[in-house]
Structure 1
Amino acid sequence: MQIYGNFGSGNCLKVKYIADAIGLPFELREVRSRSGETGTPEFLKLNPAGQVPVVILDDGRPLAQSNAILRYLAQDTRFIPADRYEAAKVDEWLFWEQYSHEPSVAVARARVVYDKQAVSDLDPNLVMQGNKALDLMEQALTDRTWLVGEAMTIADIALLPYTRQAPQGGFDLSGRPALLRWITACENQLGLPAFSAEN
């Protein structure tokens, strides 16, 4: 499998995490969105939306959208519950992540890390929406280890990258103990080093 993207992107990291977790070898084809590479005719043949990540499966077919890739790669593995309701709850988190979490938490991080915007200059509404998303996760995880069921699923993998990178966008996780415990549990499950905002 080939992954077109870069691991500075949380959406691309999701694909790396699931591939590593299920022991699926891959080759990274470095593509950076801000360089214009995703707008070339060659790339647009792979993904007309001009976004990373895109994977090229072993049979040559392309697949885009990080959470669609997660679902495809995790099919028939322990990362998607066998129970239909729990599987639907996983999907619930996947849709929420792209609609409510990524557009605020990831965007704030991108403006600070890539656009060199001061945290104090971020749009207050963007910050409010990011904190609202992180608070919802804190509440959901207060009495449980994982977002769905009793084991890690692709819901956790989908939300991990940008949540653990949230301090880079100015979000304070120190007052969210359940979220911090969850991040540590995910890192332990996936064999990741503890995240540092300075990374």
Structure 2
Amino acid sequence: MLSLFLLAGTGCKDDAISPPPPQPRTFTFDAAGLPGTAESEIAWGDYDNDGDLDLALTGRDDDSNCYSRVYRNDSGAFTDINAGMVTVLNSTIAWGDYDNDGDLDLAVAGRCYGGVSEWESKIYRNNAGNFVDIGATITGLAGSSFAWGDYDNDGDLDLAVSGYWTDGTFYFICEVYRNDEGV
């Protein structure tokens, strides 16, 4: 807080001026038409570079249907683009431009039922709004977290992952995957 004091040569405070206290912020519910999910992750990112934030969402609904979806934001209306990603719960999703082509790609991980593996971790390249699995060899995880960052300072994003998988014994993982020029 900033206070100003006017002194009239006597050393006494004649007046004090303070700015008004900040007004409380109000958050208003916006029925965006998105499905309710649990064991989920949600992340903002402008995948189509149109200047507004789109949403990526993973998780399951109350009927245990799993989701991995990208919703395009068209002036506040969200539309599922049918990205065709692996569906996961107990999951994570993270935007990052791993190939430095100027658009956001996605990393997704979680538990998957009926997939190739029960434990999935995937990176999807954004190819003009179509998300393509790049076939990266990353430990399949659930209860996970992903973070993009350039830890080796070479100009491309690397991926840190943590989570678990089990075959009856629980394995807790924290790994860093170095990205060499988007591959």
Fold shared per TM-score above 0.5:
no
Higher helix share: 1
- State which structure, 1 or 2, has the greater radius of gyration over its C-alpha atoms: 2
Higher strand share: 2
TM-score for the superposition, normalised by structure 1: 0.28
